[in-house]
Chains A and B, each alone.
Chain A
Amino acid sequence: SQTIHQWPATLVQPVGSPLSLECTVEGTSNPNLYWYRQAAGRGLQLLFYSVGIGQISSEVPQNLSASRPQDRQFILSSKKLLLSDSGFYLCAWTTGRSAGEKLFFGSGTQLSVL
Chain B
Amino acid sequence: AQTVTQSQPEMSVQEAETVTLSCTYDTSENNYYLFWYKQPPSRQMILVIRQEAYKQQNATENRFSVNFQKAAKSFSLKISDSQLGDTAMYFCAFISSNSGYALNFGKGTSLLVTP
> A-side interface residues toward B, CB under 8 Å?
32, 34, 36, 41-46, 49, 51, 57, 59, 88, 90, 92, 99-100, 102-103, 105, 107-108
Contact = CB atoms under 8 A, between A and B. Distances in A.
Contact of A99 (B9, B45, B91, B95): B95
Interface string B42-54: 0111010010100
B101 A102 contact: no
Contacts of A107: 43-44
Given A43-B107, A43-B108, A44-B91, A103 B33 contact: no
Interface of B: 6, 9, 32-33, 35, 37, 43-45, 47, 50, 52, 91, 95-98, 100-108
Contacts of B6: 43
B107 A34 contact: no
A45 B108 CA distance: 12
Nearest to A36: B105
Dominant secondary structure at the A interface: strand
A23 to B, nearest CB: 14
Given A100-B50, A100-B97, A44 B105 contact: yes
Contacts of B45: 90, 92, 103, 105
B95 A100 contact: yes
Contacts of B52: 100
Contact of A102 (B50, B102, B107): B50
Given A43-B91, A107-B43, A99 B105 contact: no
Given A44-B103, A46-B103, A108-B43, 7 more contacts: A43-B6, A43-B107, A57-B101, A100-B33, A102-B47, A102-B50, A105-B45
Contacts of A99: 32-33, 95-98, 100-101
A92 B35 CA distance: 15
B107 A42 contact: yes
Nearest to A105: B45
Nearest to B95: A99
A90 B105 CA distance: 13
